[in-house]
Amino acid sequence: MSAPVLHVRGRVLVGPDDVVDELWVIGGRVSFTPPSDGSDVQTLEGWVLPGLVDAHCHVGLGPHGGVPREEAELQAITDRDRGTLLIRDAGQPGDTHWVDERDDLPKIIRAGRHIARTRRYIRNYAHEVEEDELVRHVRLEAHRGDGWVKLVGDWIDRDVGDLAPSWSRQAVADAIAAAHEEGVRVTAHCFGEESLRDLAAAGIDCTEHATGLREDSIDTFAAQGIAIVPTLVNIAQFPDLAEPAKEKFPEYHRHMLDLHERRYATVGAAHEAGVPIYVGTDAGGSLPHGLVAQEMVELTKAGLTNAEVVAAATWGAREWLGRPGIVEGEDADLVVYAADPIADVTVVGEPRGVVLRGRVVV
């Protein structure tokens, strides 16, 4: 059955400086020219954005590892119903390519499975390997994902009693070089300071969380154009994450609380320096799905303007990921709101309508 013709009117935010009053959806695709055949037309009206992007999300992952397909489906639907129509899945152990066959579920860009040091990450999440196996696993995951590989850059080292890099600087340099040879980009989970410096020196493309950024590493990230996805809704959990280790690993506990305390200042300093920042929630591990609107509000607390946050969740993120926004002839993936999300970013939490591949799904 063909998708209906839609007339979307009001204020269509095609890009940061490109606003039109209307568009049509014909055959599931965007058109700025009305149909000429007298088709029955359904009308949607309001403020319109490209489908939101969650640039750090885990469809198919739960607190203890992979989840059944039925649960993964509910995760994807929850994201979709909140307006998230493009997901960069930042690592998980299962295979979610079945989602690509569903016209009613968000589009996913995968990073394959996390690659971590042995016993240095959450159990059942990652390939856990030593340095002599790292490059081989990077090349493997480069062909399982959709243009990304995910490393675990640091985690608690129980011998040290604190966060510590998972890999030597040479090991990550070799791994990132191998990924680039395979034609994919690399991102990494990073909480602490030292791993960020090592990964930047190795030429990484992006880091997740990046709570350990300091003045020197911020300057390096800005100069090299290394993006960050702060996942502030996840960083809010640091005190709870660290509390069980308070007695046995007091330095780790103190460190995590410090990273949490300065989280807004860290992201704000990175933003002021020109580090690219994108919206991501880290949903799917310990966090529920559908949190993009909350993450957007969190980023405003770090000093990003509403317009900058909207860009980081829409056209800016789509350009970074190589996917179209509201473009003639492309899939109509749109979210409609009752009010201007740039005037009030909290509006994003209450979509009036969601259009995925040209069909109204909400």
pLDDT value for 188: 98
Q: Which DSSP helix (H) or strand (E) runs through 252?
A: helix 250-261
Residue 359 confidence (pLDDT): 96
Cα–Cα distance for residue pair 134/45, rounded to 1 Å: 51
pLDDT of residue 74: 98
Percent of the chain scoring above 70 in pLDDT: 99
Mean pLDDT of the 224-237 span: 98
Write out pLDDT tens, residues 189-223.
999 999 999 999 999 999 999 999 999 999 999 99
| % the chain with pLDDT above 90 | 97
Cβ atoms 348, 46 nearer than 8 A? no
Residue 2 has pLDDT above 90, yes or no: no
For residue 9, pLDDT over 70 is answered with: yes
pLDDT (tens digit per residue) in 68-93 = 999 999 999 999 999 999 999 999 99
- pLDDT for 148-192, tens place per residue? 999 999 999 999 999 999 999 999 999 999 999 999 999 999 999
Residues 30-57 have a mean pLDDT of: 93
Closest C-alpha among 156, 215, 152, 221 to residue 187: 152
More confident: 178 or 2? 178
Examine the pLDDT at 1 and tell me if it is beyond 70.
no
Q: Kindly indicate the confidence band of residue 127, based on its pLDDT and cuts at 50, 70 and 90.
A: very high
Mean pLDDT value across residues 335-344 = 97
Helix (H) / strand (E) containing 242 = helix 238-242
**Which has the closest alpha carbon to 144: 114, 121, 117, 102?**
114
Residue 189's contacts (CB-CB under 8 Å, 6 or more residues apart) are 91, 114, 121, 150, 151, 152, 153, 154, 155, 207, 208, 209
**pLDDT above 80 for 38:** no
Q: Which residue has the higher pLDDT, 4 or 52?
A: 52
Residue 300: exposure state from Cβ atoms within 10 A (0-12, 13-18, ≥19): middle
Backbone angles phi, psi at 164, to 5 degrees: -155, 150
What pLDDT does 304 receive? 98
Helix, strand, coil share of the chain (percent; to 5): 35, 25, 35
Spell out the domains of the chain, with CATH numbers in brackets: 5-49+325-360 (2.30.40.10), 52-321 (3.20.20.140)
Question: How many CA within 13 A on the CB side of residue 202?
Answer: 30
pLDDT score for 149: 98
Mean pLDDT of the chain: 97
Mean pLDDT of 290-305: 98
pLDDT band at residue 40 under the 50/70/90 scheme: confident
